[in-house]
Amino acid sequence: MSDDHRLAHSSFTLTRDYPAPVAHVWRAFAEEDRKRKWFGDGDTFDRRAWAFDFRVGGRDIDEAKFHGGPVSRYEGVYTDIVDQVRIASTYDMWLDGIHMSTSIATFEFEPVPGATRLTHVEHGVFFDAFHADAAQREEGMRGLLETLALHIR
């Protein structure tokens, strides 16, 4: 198979404890203004599109142009939400208009003594020229979870 039509599969699990009750961590996902602070805002890119619809069947969109770089587009659909327990979604990523990946992602929220344990599991498929980007997805999500820690109060 040529590199032009190649697939790469990637799966990973990230677990992090946040020193806050489940309700606080949950709001960072369920409330638009809170999610935008850790997931969608930043000074390294210019926002092009944003949509937030936190419900089963709802769609999130986050499109931005990195300064001096490409346009990244995220489109996610919530497939299952159990209040303060779990979120399941599918999402697609594009880079400069080219479909780079499709993923299934879950977040589980578990109370532990003095904290909330967040477990993120992701399974993705990367298309064609983006097959080498599979390893970078885990690092990108790890960075988002670090940013999330700065916004949970």
The CATH classification number of 3-151 equals 3.30.530.20
Model pLDDT, residue 1: 46
Residue 62 near residue 74 (C-beta atoms within 8 A) = yes
Delimit the domains of the chain by residue range.
3-151
**pLDDT less than 50: residues of the chain:** 1
Amino acid (1-letter code) at residue 61: I
Number of neighbours of residue 115 by Cβ within 10 angstroms: 16
**What's the pTM value of the predicted model, to 2 decimals?**
0.90
Query: pLDDT tens, 113-139?
Result: 999 999 999 999 999 877 677 778 899
Report which DSSP code applies to 44.
S
* Residue 44 pLDDT: 59
